[in-house]
Amino acid sequence: MNEPVAKCPHCDQPMDRWAIPDELPFDEDWHWICFNDECPYYVKGWKWMEEKFGRPASYRHRQNPTSKENGPMAVWSDMALRNGIIKP
Ligand SMILES: [Zn+2]
């Protein structure tokens, strides 16, 4: 928990540690996720998912703290996943 807070490459805001649920195939206990509702990646995601799948959903920027690999984390509302945020 001592490593510096990672910043989102899309909005430059500090990301939150998010506890990985058991059903996800990651080895880590947590990943960085950008929970900024103004993040352009997240904002654009709503439009993209609507056009592509015709349903309200988006994704937030996620980063693996070990490998630094980046990926999307799908969400279905602006409150989704927030209960997994690990308070500093
Ligand atoms: Zn962001």
pLDDT, tens only, 7-41: 999 999 999 999 999 998 899 999 999 999 999 99
User: Considering the domain boundaries, does residue 28 fall inside one?
Assistant: yes
Measured in Å, residue 41 CA sits from the centre of ligand 1 at 6
Q: For residue 66, how many other CB atoms are within 10 A of its CB?
A: 10
3-state secondary structure of 37: coil
Ligand 1 centroid to residue 23 C-alpha, Å: 24
* pLDDT bracket for residue 1 (50, 70, 90): low
Residue 22 Cα to ligand 1 middle (Å)? 25
Whether residue 77 contacts residue 83, with contact meaning beta carbons closer than 8 Å, is answered with no
Tally of domains within the chain: 1
**Sheet containing 58-63, strands listed edge to edge, beginning at the edge strand earlier in sequence:** 70-75, 58-63, 30-33, 16-19, 85-86
Domain with 34 in it:
16-86
For residue 10, tell me if it sits in a domain: no
Q: Please tell me the distance between residue 53's alpha carbon and the centre of ligand 1 in angstroms.
A: 23
Could you tell me the distance, in angstroms and rounded to a whole number, from the CA of residue 7 to the centre of ligand 1? 8
Q: Which residues contact 30 (CB under 8 A, 6 or more apart)?
A: 17, 18, 19, 20, 65, 86
In a domain, residue 8? The reply is no
